[in-house]
Amino acid sequence: MGNLGHTGTMNGSVHHMIEVGDDGDGMLYHCEECQRQIVIRRSGGFVVLQKGDFFATHVGGHGPLHLSVS
């Protein structure tokens, strides 16, 4: 097995996601580096709309909420 690096990913990349939409039920986050898009549901869970760089760690936040999604 290869070296996973300090971030726990195969390529060691960390991408920052920004909130680009909020409809009250969920928040849409977008990564400008690889075009990954996810919806974080307020009821729990998330949906990946656009996979982007699957091996990068994606981080972002909103107010007191901070998340990391690989």
Q: What is the pLDDT of residues 1-52, one digit of tens each?
A: 333 333 444 567 999 999 999 999 999 999 999 999 999 999 999 999 999 9
pLDDT at position 70: 58
Higher pLDDT, 36 or 60: 36
* Higher-scoring residue by pLDDT: 54, 70: 54
In this prediction, residue 64 carries a pLDDT of: 60
For residue 27, what is the DSSP state?
Answer: E
Q: Which of 61, 63, 65 lies closest to 16 in space, CA to CA? A: 61
- Dihedral of CA 13/65/31/52: which sign? positive
pLDDT value, residue 51: 93
